[in-house]
Amino acid sequence: MPNLIKFTFIVSLLAVMANLLACTAVTTTPTAIKVPPKVQSPPLAPSAPTMPREVLRPSPAVQNNIQGVTLPKTKRPNASGYLATGNASWSGLANHGMKTASGEIYDVYGMTAAHASLPLLARVRVKNLRTGKSVIVTINDRVDKLSSSNLLIKLSYHAARQLGLLKSVSAVEVRGLAGDR
């Protein structure tokens, strides 16, 4: 606490001194005073404020495809009845920010996956067959059948981490969930 009082005192002293100097600085060169170089010239010019706000909103059709909290309002395709086992891998930072087959943008923290055939935006439950732990993910991308013939599903980083299979390719069960009626 004494340190703070001391600090406050010094700052106030500085402020008084600098104020005296600054009033002359308006008309003379302020070279004697070190202005903290905090204010950098902004790299960008702000967008024109004259643009009406309405113009900045995407149409409702666009909104439904944006990955985020609005997602559940899209009509989900049905995947119930689908059941398969196979290997799972995951994708990392290289794909973060890349567009998926569904139009959504891949996010390492999303609960999503790529699959060869399930309808896009369908939901599935993926179970780690070694541990029994399961998560729910949305299919938002395609895995290429030819290049990864041994792969059933490619999970997002976060989904793979939740399932505890970051370390290696692992066997999983994929069960389709019902869509919106």
Shortest separation between residue 89's beta carbon and other proteins, angstroms: 15
Query: Do the Cβ atoms of 143 and 154 come closer than 8 Å?
Result: yes
Cβ-based neighbours of 118, under 8 Å, separated by 6 or more: 79, 82, 124, 139, 176
Shortest separation between residue 20's beta carbon and other proteins, angstroms: 10
Query: Do the Cβ atoms of 118 and 176 come closer than 8 Å?
Result: yes
Comparing CB distances to other proteins, the nearer of 15 and 83 is 15
How far is the C-alpha of 16 from the C-alpha of 88, rounded, in Å?
67
Residues forming the site for other proteins (CB under 8 A): 4-5, 8, 11-12, 15-16, 18-19, 22-23, 25-30, 33, 35, 39-40, 42-47, 55-58, 60, 62-63, 65-72, 92-93, 96-99, 103, 105-111, 123, 125, 136, 138, 157, 177-178
Comparing CB distances to other proteins, the nearer of 40 and 168 is 40
Shortest separation between residue 24's beta carbon and other proteins, angstroms: 8
Comparing CB distances to other proteins, the nearer of 44 and 146 is 44
Comparing CB distances to other proteins, the nearer of 48 and 146 is 48
Count of beta carbons in the 10 Å neighbourhood of residue 104: 20
How far is the C-alpha of 28 from the C-alpha of 21, rounded, in Å?
10
Per DSSP bridges, beta strands 134-141 and 123-128 are antiparallel
